[in-house]
Homo-oligomer: A and B are copies of this chain.
Amino acid sequence: MAVITAVDTFDIRFPTSLSLDGSDAMNPDPDYSAAYVTITTDAGDGLTGHAFVFTIGRGNDVEVAAIRALRDHLEGADVDALLADMGRAARLLTHDSQLRWLGPEKGVMHMAIGAVLDALWDLRAKRAGEPLWLHLSRLSAEELVSVVDFRYLTDALTETEALEILRAAEPGRQERIRQLQAIGYPAYTTTPGWLGYSDDKLARLCREAVADGFPQIKLKVGADLDEDRRRLRIARENVPAGFPIAIDANQRWGVDEAIEWIRGVAEFDPAWVEEPTSPDDVLAHAAIARAVAPVRIATGEHVQNRIVFKQLLQAEGMAVMQIDATRVGGVNENIAHLLLAAKFGVPVCPHAGGVGLCEAVQHLAMFDFVAVSGSMDGRMIEFVDHLHEHFVTPVQVRRGRYLAPSSPGAGTEMLPASIAAHLWHEPVPATAEAPA
C-alpha cells in the first residue's frame, strides 16, 4: 500500500501591487499570491500533487494555516484508495464535523479543501499520464457523478439528471477531443481594461487585443460613471464595430446603483456586466438582471459554492457562469457547477488571471466542452498575461485561443526556483502567555 508521506505548504507572494496591473474598483493594490500545497507519497513513482489557493496578498498565511489544518486527514492515508474515490476524498475533508463550523463550505477553509483536492487531482492525472481535462473527459458518467456532492442540490439537479446530461454528451467525446487538440479553446483578454492605465495605453492595448485574435475584451468599471463612459468610448473607437466588450464592476454596487449605472453604459453594448453586486446576493442579481435585460449579468469568481450558483440559476440572476479554479471545493465542486450550468442552459466562461488561474481553469472549460455542455458557443476563458513563467507547464495562448494542454497533470505545478524565490517570510509570532 502506498501512503501520503507529506503535505507541505508554501506561502508564495508576488509584489504585483508595485505596478497597476490587476487593479480594479474593489482591489486597488493586489499582491498576487498562492497558498501552495504539495502532496508526496511513498509510491516510488516520483510523482507529487501540486495545487494552490490564489489570494491577493495579506491573508495568504491564513490560507496556508487552513491547508495545514487538513494534514491529519491525509498524512499516512492510503493514496491509491483516495485517488480511486475522489468523492470520498472530498467528503473526508468537507464533512469534518469540526472544521465544517468554520464555513460551512465557504471562505478560507473551503478554499483550502479545494486546494488539497486539486493537488490530489493533479497527482491522479499525472499517474494516468494525462492532462487533467483529458483525464476527466475519459471518465464514465457514473464516475463523474460520484465525485459530486448532491447535498443541497437536488431541488435543481438530481444525480439522475446529472447522469442524463453526461450521457447525452457521450457521443462525440472523441471528436471533440480531437477538435480541442486541433484548434484549442477561445480566450478573451482583460489586459486592456485595468483601472489606472492611461488613455493611450488603453487604446493601444485594445488594438493589440484585436490584432492578436482575441474574440472579446473586458474593461473594469465601477469607480466613476463618467470615467467609465469615457473609457468605454475609447475602447469602442479602437475595436471593430460590434466587437464584444464586457465590463466588470467587481461587486461595487447596490441594486439601484447597479441598474442606474448599467443603463448609463448600455449604449456601449456590453457583452456582459460582471459582478454588479455582492456575490452573496442572489435576489439582488435577479432584480438587476430583470431591470437591465437584455444586458446579460455574469458572476462567479467570488461565488462561494454550488449552493449559491444553484440559486443564481434558479432565480435567473446570472446569464454567464464564471467558475473559478480555487474559490470552491476543488475540481469536484466545479464539476457540480458545470452540471448546473448545463442543466439551466447557461454558458460557462471561467474567471482567470491572478497567478495560475489560467493554468488551472482551462482544464475545466475543456472538460466541459468534451463531456458536459459539448459546446464552445458563447464560451471563452479569461486570459491575462501575468506570471505564467512560474509554472512548469504554462498556458499557451495563440491567436486568441488556449491550446489544449498535453502534459500530464492539472497544470498547477510551479517551478521550484519560482517557489524558492517568492517564498514569503514573516517573523514567527511569539506565543502569547495567558494574561496575569
Residue pair A59, B281 in contact (C-beta under 8 Å): no
Query: What CA separation (Å) do A308 and B304 show in the bound complex?
Result: 13
Q: Does A241 contact B (CB under 8 A)?
A: no
Q: Does A155 contact B (CB under 8 A)?
A: yes
Residue pair B432, A98 in contact (C-beta under 8 Å): no
Given A416-B434, A432-B8, A101 contacting B59 (CB threshold 8 A): yes
Residue pair B280, A97 in contact (C-beta under 8 Å): no
Residue pair A97, B434 in contact (C-beta under 8 Å): no
In whole Å, how far is A155's beta carbon from the nearest beta carbon of chain B? 4
Residue pair A62, B101 in contact (C-beta under 8 Å): no
Q: Does A168 contact B (CB under 8 A)?
A: no
Residue pair B278, A307 in contact (C-beta under 8 Å): yes
Residue pair B55, A62 in contact (C-beta under 8 Å): no
Residue pair B429, A434 in contact (C-beta under 8 Å): no
Query: What CA separation (Å) do A26 and B59 show in the bound complex?
Result: 29
Q: Does A242 contact B (CB under 8 A)?
A: no
Q: Does A163 contact B (CB under 8 A)?
A: no
This protein's copies in its complex: 2
Query: What CA separation (Å) do A277 and B57 show in the bound complex?
Result: 34
Given A282-B311, A432-B8, A436-B416, A99 contacting B255 (CB threshold 8 A): no
Query: What CA separation (Å) do A278 and B150 show in the bound complex?
Result: 12
Residue pair A101, B307 in contact (C-beta under 8 Å): no
Query: What CA separation (Å) do A152 and B288 show in the bound complex?
Result: 13
In whole Å, how far is A410's beta carbon from the nearest beta carbon of chain B? 16
In whole Å, how far is A322's beta carbon from the nearest beta carbon of chain B? 15
Residue pair A251, B104 in contact (C-beta under 8 Å): yes
Q: Which residues of A contact B (CB under 8 A)?
A: 8-10, 26-31, 38, 48, 55-59, 61-63, 65-66, 68-69, 96-111, 151-155, 251, 254-256, 277-284, 287, 302, 304-305, 307-308, 310-311, 314-315, 416, 419-420, 423, 428-429, 432, 434-436
